Homo-oligomer: A and B are copies of this chain.
Amino acid sequence: MTTHSRREVITAAAALAGVGASAQAATSGNAGTAGKATIPPVVHHVFFWLKNPKSKDDLARLLTGLRTLGGIETVKAIHIGVPAETEQRGVVDSSYSASEILFFDDVAGQNAYQVHPIHKKFVADCEHLWERVVVYDVKPAPTP
């Protein structure tokens, strides 16, 4: 861990304390689970269906574009993925080509991302690749 990283941890902790979000320790929307990884509270999960789902080149172009989104300041964590080889029960949708999960500290961070030049460039460069997009925006459930 670098000094720079430590400072960022402290800054993030101070920011969360400043908005009274102490319940965000360990996990978001879930209390009493010591030892779990920290997940930033606001989740933006996007699924992409390619026009040419069998094109490895198109998938690679999309993934390359998606990875640029991690350069946006308000994006606190990023997970770029593809369907996992889990048991294909009826409720599992594995028809998508790529998954983008961005994590933010708050809805304002997600709003800033939407209009960020890096995001706009990604859409301009890659939107010809997909035929369908579904977005889910999630915030932590209220604690009981």
Contact = CB atoms under 8 A, between A and B. Distances in A.
A1 interface: yes
A111 interface: yes
Contact of A138 (B22, B34, B99): B99
A91 B135 contact: yes
Nearest to A75: B36
A138 to B, nearest CB: 4
B139 A83 contact: yes
B21 A15 contact: no
Copy tally for this chain in the complex stands at 2
Contact of A137 (B64, B84, B114): B84
A76 B24 CA distance: 10
Nearest to A103: B37
Given A7-B37, A8-B35, A29-B81, A22 B19 contact: yes
A79 interface: yes
Interface in A95-143: 96, 98-99, 101, 103, 107, 110-111, 114, 133-142
B79 A43 contact: yes
Nearest to A95: B136
A50 interface: no
Interface of A: 1, 4-45, 47, 60, 63-64, 66-67, 70-71, 75-87, 89, 91-94, 96, 98-99, 101, 103, 107, 110-111, 114, 133-142, 144
